Amino acid sequence: MASVRLATTQPARDMAGPGSRFLDVDGVSVHHRVTGPDDAPAILLFHHFYGNVATWRHVHQALSDRYRVVSFDRVGFGLTERPPRSRWRGTNPYTREMSARIAKALLDDLDVSSATLVGSSAGGTAALETYRRTPGRVRSLALLSPAITGDVGAPRMLRPVLRTRPLPSIGTRIVRRVAGDITRERVSRSWHDPTRAGDDDVDAYARAMQVDGWDRGFWEVMTAEAPPDLRSLVRSVQVPTLVVAGDSDRIIAPRWNRRTAGALPDGRFHLLPDTGHTPHEERPDLLVPVLRGFLAELDGS
């Protein structure tokens, strides 16, 4: 696995690259990316814990020929603003509820009536929350090892610290000290073969640690909410839903994903060989054809 390189921080907009967009949602500047034809069926991507827009780069490239692909950085990650507590507008912005509000705002801004939501791990729970709040805007769901059960949540090395409930100022200092270790842990546990992770894969995470306030945002996400229990919501989903798992997933065992698919009224399950927790990063060559097949089934083609 490539080494982790951290640097001094800078404003998010100074780090924005080609294709970066920003939208104000409830007073928070949300970074997002849009590719593909404006009139094509829309796909909205929700990244996993510790992920960001860059971790969807392979999916953007592969699906933008026939689909309008939208991804965004959830609050606390990537180039989306990390508001301090003094600027919160009533509710905590570092929650999946805020991710659902952002999703609706993006669909409204792009004049998209409905979309297929694709969520990875914790992004899967945010996609489900979006469905719960605005079911009429969701055409279908594709959940990649959704964090409904399993070893989800904060990095293992930080869990003892979280149990002591330190002040945010202390928590952010601890996060800064172990930043490189967190990145290595997440990649090594999320991939079937971590040696395949190259510079681009590691930089997708390391660059997010060069944004002003990244440590505060990371801490706020970890302390914002307990892992959700969405099993009752899963049973109520009324749109076609694909659940994808890697056979080597060490974070959420494939058997749990199979059970999730079985609990869905219109669910289906696909197991990818030699793949870990984040197939869109490690094995897009296997994942993309599965997504295309699911989307083609919806289109009747």
Q: Hey, what domains does the chain have and what are their CATH numbers?
A: 17-151+227-299 (3.40.50.1820)
The pTM (predicted TM-score) of the whole model is: 0.90
Q: What is the pLDDT of residue 272?
A: 99
Q: What is the pLDDT of residue 2?
A: 47
Q: What is the pLDDT of residue 162?
A: 47
Residue-wise pLDDT tens digits, 66-117? 999 999 999 999 999 999 888 888 788 999 999 999 999 999 999 999 999 9
pLDDT for 38 beyond 90: yes
Closest Cα to residue 210, out of 3, 2, 10? 10
Mean pLDDT of 231-242: 91
Q: What is the pLDDT of residue 248?
A: 96
CB 270, CB 243: distance < 8 Å = yes
Output 172 or 261, whichever has higher pLDDT.
261
Q: How confident is the model at residue 182 (pLDDT cuts 50, 70, 90)?
A: low
